[in-house]
Amino acid sequence: MADGGLASTAAEAVAHRLRQDIVAGDLAPAAKLRLKDLVERYGIGTTPLREALSRLVAEGFVHGEGQKGFSVPPVTRAHLLDITRTRQMLEPEALRLAIQAGDAAWEDEIVASLSLLKREIERRDPANPAWQDSYEARHHRFHRALIAACPLRSLAGFCDELYVQMTRYRRVMKTVLVDWNRAAPVHQQLADLAVARQEAAAMAAIHAHIGTTADHVLPALFGEP
């Protein structure tokens, strides 16, 4: 493999690790991302590290500040509401298209991912970072499964990016704020409506479900609804 290919692969790997650490809150909101510190943290050279940071700037997970360098984006009420409302506009449409195009394999993945998610909900330990990682992975898989059959790949991809951005607001509090009495039934309803091809009801349900994250996070982070 050429040196350029190796550098690109290294940049991709460190971008993935950086994104994970930012989403999980391990790199705090608004923290400066100094190259020297990141080289030591990830054991990588400055060239692939700069490429990784540039990629994450383009994705919105890192702020580039010209001569001032890079930083983790802050968490703000305005940004959370922006993500929430954008998801509420786009994800129901992605789900509608997935329902129209989905096949048996799509249905099977929804059912399988729901089963795994419900298992994590049953063994919940919201203040445990290891459990948080496992829960978020299962929750993400389920939401990906719902729209996986959407034929507009750019739409599905953008919905996934917004999902991850929203996850950061949950993770930055180092706990998972969920109404656990409703968590399993709500996801069961989403799965049932999708598999039953009930487009309008499924779209309304996913719209409402997306709004619950903001409902829980806004008071916890910002002291206001």
Higher pLDDT among residues 12 and 98, named by residue = 98
pLDDT at 161: 93
Place of tokens 């704020």: 177
pLDDT at 224: 66
- pLDDT grade, residue 225 (50/70/90)? low
The CA-CA-CA angle for residues 58, 63, 69, to 5°, reads 115
- Distance (Å) of CA 19 to CA 41, 52, 92, 180, 191: 14, 10, 26, 27, 29
- Tokens standing for residue 92: 């129901």
- Distance (Å) of CA 111 to CA 23, 54, 98, 108: 27, 37, 15, 5
Mean pLDDT of the chain: 91
Whether 215 has a pLDDT exceeding 90, the answer reads no
- Please give the DSSP secondary-structure letter assigned to residue 1: -
Ordered by where they begin, the domains of the chain are: 3-71 (1.10.10.10), 77-222 (1.20.120.530)
pLDDT at 101: 98
Per-residue pLDDT tens over the stretch 14-73: 999 999 999 988 999 999 999 999 999 999 889 899 999 999 999 889 998 777 789 999
In the chain, what percentage of residues exceed pLDDT 90? 69
Kindly provide the b/e burial profile for residues 198-212, where b requires at least 16 CB atoms within 10 angstroms of the residue's own CB.
ebeebbebbeebbeb
pLDDT at 2: 42
